[in-house]
Amino acid sequence: MADDRLSNALAAKKFIVAPGIFDMISAKIADGMDFTALYATGFGTVASHLGIADAGIATYSDMVSRVGRYAQGCSKPVIADADTGYGGLLNVRHTVQGYEAAGIAAIQIEDQEVPKKCGHTPGRRVIPMRDMCLKVEVAVAARKSPDFLIIARTDARTSLGLDEALARGRAYRKAGADIVFVESPETEDEMARIGQEIDGPLLANMADGGRTPILPAARLQDLGYNVAIFPAIGFLAVAAAAERVYSHLLATGSSLNRPAHDNYGFDRICTLMGFPDVWAFEKEWERPE
């Protein structure tokens, strides 16, 4: 059965802040903190796994194994980006069943055309509203447990305007989506309208550098949101740190004389990756020659 902690948190009106994870190091670090859930970012996972743009090139097979590893390696519920469901209605059914079987707690499916483009980037085109409603209905019918949550995302705001995005959000909720995600509102006033005009749990995408203003959790809750994802915060910080230390290495030819905060610590990373368990196992099973 699906992990019910996320659905229970929503039912209890607990505001959920989910950090973006993009590889197993970021996943384990975030999992060790007191977050209610983690968010498997498509942009970050595609970038770290394949080294390419999040532009609809990654397949279901690329992603299900990756997000499944997050779910298996973490103690917290994982929300996972699944793009458009990787195709038509049959693909959506297959994707939902695969992600649920992989241990994911909630799946995010968007109404973009195939191939999709990353949210907050230009040129996104959406499929007809009715086609997306069918995808939502198929997703709901395909899941084994109602605790496996369906998040329906609309990218209509950027190309078709907020009124169209609101109409789609309401329609996707009526089609059975557990959470509605209106991507890329551009002002706090627009976010307030979303909270006022869509009846149901709402997700806010706090994408650093994106089109939507970054707001504190308390303000998002006041506006009517229930979940806030921060998909880019981790990989942006890691990229900056890596660039800084590699630049130091290039300039000096050494890893010496770097600020202490630039180093996570080899002992800490060994512990994070589970080496103490390996060493204990080896000691237990060590036999004299």
User: Tell me, what CATH number does 222's domain have?
Assistant: 3.20.20.60
Q: What is the percent of the chain with per-residue pLDDT over 70, rounded to a whole number?
A: 97
pLDDT of residue 118: 67
pLDDT tier at 94 (50, 70, 90 boundaries)? very high
Residues in the chain: 289
First CA to last CA distance, the chain: 47
pLDDT of residue 85: 96
Give a yes or no: residue 260 inside a domain. no
Cα–Cα dist 289/287, whole Å:
6
- Count: domains in the chain: 1
pLDDT tier at 122 (50, 70, 90 boundaries)? low
Give a yes or no: residue 242 inside a domain. no
Contact present, 116 and 107 (Cβ < 8 Å): no
Backbone angles phi, psi at 78, to 5 degrees: -115, 125
Domain range for 193 = 5-237
Give, in order, the Cα–Cα distances in Å from 23 to each of 46, 109, 233, 237, 274. Answer: 10, 21, 13, 13, 16
Give a yes or no: residue 165 inside a domain. yes
pTM of the model: 0.94
Give a yes or no: residue 209 inside a domain. yes
Contact present, 154 and 165 (Cβ < 8 Å): yes
Torsion sign (Cα): 57, 240, 70, 203: negative
Give a yes or no: residue 93 inside a domain. yes
Q: Residue 4: which H helix or E strand, with range?
A: none
